[in-house]
Amino acid sequence: MLDMTDVRKTFNAKTVNEKVALDGLTLHLNDGDFVTVIGGNGAGKSTMLNAIAGVWPIDRGSIVIDKKDISRLPEHRRAPLLGRVFQDPMTGTAATMQIEENLALAARRGERRTLKPGITRAERNQYRDQLAALGLGLEDRMTAKVGLLSGGQRQALTLLMATLKKPKLLLLDEHTAALDPRTAEKVLELSEKIVRENNLMTLMVTHNMRDAIRYGNRLIMMNEGKIILDIAGEQKQKLTVEDLMTAFFKASGEEFANDRALLS
Amino acid sequence: MNFTALFNAMPGAAAQGLIWGIMAIGVYITYKVLDLADLTVDGSMATGGAVCVMLMLNGVNVWLALLCAVLAGMLAGLLTGIFHTAMGIPPILAGILTQLSLYSINLAVMAFKANQGINVTKYALIVSQRNVRTLSWNNPIFTALLFLIVLIGALYWFFGTELGSSLRATGANEAMSRAQGINTNTAKILGLMISNGIVALSSALLSHYQGFVDVNMGRGAIVIGLAAVIISEVIFGKLFRNFALKLTGVALGAVIYYIVIQVVLWLGLNTNLLKLLSALIVAVFLGIPYWKAHMNMRKGGGRHA
């Protein structure tokens, strides 16, 4: 369960560049909810995910996961609860380290790192099976440096790393935006498969309205740091892109002006 | 040209190179593994010797004195780490601040004298220049090699552990490391401590080797360390992929550096111009990757989204 209550974040406060990125945001997620998040540029989608992850402190409000208040915890102490995949494929993995080393790092998320071996033989076998399940042939390249992989491969690996230790909440921050359409499709399907198999509570930010409709059981739309639309269940299944455009116009009084969202 | 003089200078160059090679490995850990340029080194390269020599002059056992030297170096790294992580000071500046404070600290340790001698006939020194051309177990080349082997083995083991991996991850990608629950501040502090501990070890051995400790002996150490790292990358980069081999390459890089210096001196360069020469050579090699990227861009390649 995730509870965000009245979360506020202002960037560059008291300067000409002041921007209220999250404006008293309140959001409740139930276990197993797979929520897609859409909204224009600067609506606060990524900011919301970063607030949960603890990239910087929030100004006000509280963030609670499973009754544990994480609002004031540093980023690395929230990590045990969270799985994260980023927009930039470079962000989620260590390029100069091997595939299996990256996985071994992720497998120890939330544990004290001791002087025990960084990776064991039993782990290697387990990773080989898990990599094979991705269907990308990475199981034969486990000692290759991650920097040699393509963007899609890196995102798939990051997904595996994010869920190797089952997180309470999975944060997907436009994780297919930097990929070509076919690869993006594949990574999305993989994401859904992993989310469903593990019944993961998930927040997925996307620029693509069709994806936002197709995936998940609930959809929220953000504008100016607030949630302006929240649709779940059957109602969501009947949604169309046109509905979303109209809803956005009604709620915000602006056109949904975003090339990427319109063209896709 | 007197080749005999050059030939005779080689054992000394090798011994010095190996001892400085230990320091270069310390630099490698911050510069390459953690991706931090740490200038603490110029201070801790005198601290180790100061602590070790002064303790020995006061009757402390040589191995205990050596251990204290390493611990002193680690404290220096801790200070830089605190400046950087707890006070948000950029790493280069944090290192410079520690380096400057170490100048006073080193002087204080050395009873406010700029140098302190230690005689090999009176004290059980681990290495000494006096034995550099003897064929015996006492030869500093042999002893320094032994130290290097043990050090490289220990580091190879450490960086393969969970904790060591978290240090490597921090250097490779901080955002990812934090997302995987690694306290990157702790990792950086630990890395700085290990690095400066190793530098202090090298410093202690160097003071034994030359028979004295000088408050200025660390000046320019970071440049020598970088030179060793760069030389090893240029010469062994394609050959040495394994971590232990890379560390070996760095030590060899320091030896090559000292051999080159000997040759340059033999050719008649004024000793006082050495630091200028070293700095320029390192600057050129640091510039090569930048120039390469620049050339690629002109050719229209190398620009990938």
Check if the beta carbon of residue A160 is closer than 8 Å to that of residue A153.
no
Task: Kindly report, residue by residue over A109-149, the tens digit of the pLDDT.
Answer: 999 999 999 999 999 999 999 999 999 999 999 999 999 99
Share the mean pLDDT of chain A. Answer: 93
Q: What is the pLDDT along chain B (305 residues), one digit of tens a residue?
A: 688 989 999 999 999 999 999 999 999 999 999 999 999 999 999 999 999 999 999 999 999 999 999 999 999 999 999 999 999 999 999 999 999 999 999 999 999 999 999 999 999 999 999 999 888 888 999 999 999 999 999 999 999 999 999 999 999 999 999 999 999 999 999 999 999 999 999 999 999 999 999 999 999 999 999 999 999 998 999 899 899 999 999 999 999 999 999 999 899 989 899 889 889 988 988 888 888 888 887 765 544 44
Pairing of strands A60-65, A218-223: unpaired
What distance in Å separates residue A209's CA from the closest CA in chain B? 24
Query: pLDDT tens digits, residue range A5-64?
Result: 999 999 999 999 999 999 999 999 999 999 999 998 889 999 999 999 999 999 999 999
Contact by Cβ (8 Å): A194, A128? no
Q: Is B164 on the interface with A (CB under 8 A)?
A: yes
Residue A264 pLDDT more than 70? no
B59: left (phi over 0), alpha (psi -120 to 50) or beta: left
Quote the pLDDT of residue B288. Answer: 84
Whether pTM > 0.90 for this model: the answer is yes
CB contact under 8 A, A96 and B160: no
Of the residues B167, B180, B186, B246, the best mutation for testing chain A's interface (the one with the most A CB atoms within 10 Å of its CB) is B180
CA distance A116 to chain B (A): 5
Q: How far is C-alpha A192 from the geometric centre of its chain's CA atoms?
A: 12
Report the b/e string of B76-111 with b at 16+ CB within 10 A.
bbbbbbbbbbeeebebeebbbbbbebbbebbeebbe
Cβ contact B162–A117 (<8 Å): yes
CATH, domain range A2-93+150-263: 3.40.50.300
Angstroms from A251 CA to nearest CA on chain B: 34
Q: Which amino acid, residue B260?
A: V
B85 touches chain A (CB under 8 A): no
Q: Domain extents for chain A?
A: 2-93+150-263
Which residues in chain A are contacts of B182 at CB distance < 8 A? Answer: 76, 79, 105, 113
Q: Do B168 and A109 touch (CB under 8 A)?
A: no
A→B contacts (Cβ < 8 Å), by residue, are 53, 74-77, 79-80, 82, 84, 86, 90-97, 101, 104-106, 108-111, 113-119, 161
- In order, the DSSP letters of chain A are -EEEEEEEEEESTTSTT-EEEEEEEEEEE-TT-EEEEEE-TTSSHHHHHHHHHTSS--SEEEEEETTEE-TTS-HHHHGGGEEEE-SSTTTSS-TTSBHHHHHHHHHTTTS---SSBSS-HHHHHHHHHHHHHHTSSGGG-TTSBGGGS-HHHHHHHHHHHHHHSPPSEEEEESTTTTS-HHHHHHHHHHHHHHHHHHT-EEEEE-S-HHHHHHSSSEEEEEETTEEEEEEEHHHHHT--HHHHHHHHHHHHSS----HHHHH-
Q: Do A109 and B180 touch (CB under 8 A)?
A: yes
| Nearest chain B Cα distance for residue A87, angstroms | 13
Selecting from A74, A94, A114 the residue whose C-beta is nearest the C-beta of B172 gives A94
A2-11/A218-223 β-pairing: unpaired
% of chain A beyond a pLDDT of 70:
95
Nearest Cβ partner for A92 among B162, B176, B181: B176
Higher pLDDT, B197 or A251: B197
Nearest CA in chain B to A93: B176
Q: Do A117 and B168 touch (CB under 8 A)?
A: no
Contact call for residues A205 and A191 (beta carbons, < 8 A): no
What residue type is B134 in one-letter code? T
Cβ-based neighbour number of residue A180 at 10 Å: 11
DSSP letter assigned to residue B89 = -
Nearest CA in chain A to B171: A94
Is the model more confident about A71 or about A262?
A71
CA–CA gap between residue B132 and residue B115 (Å, rounded):
23
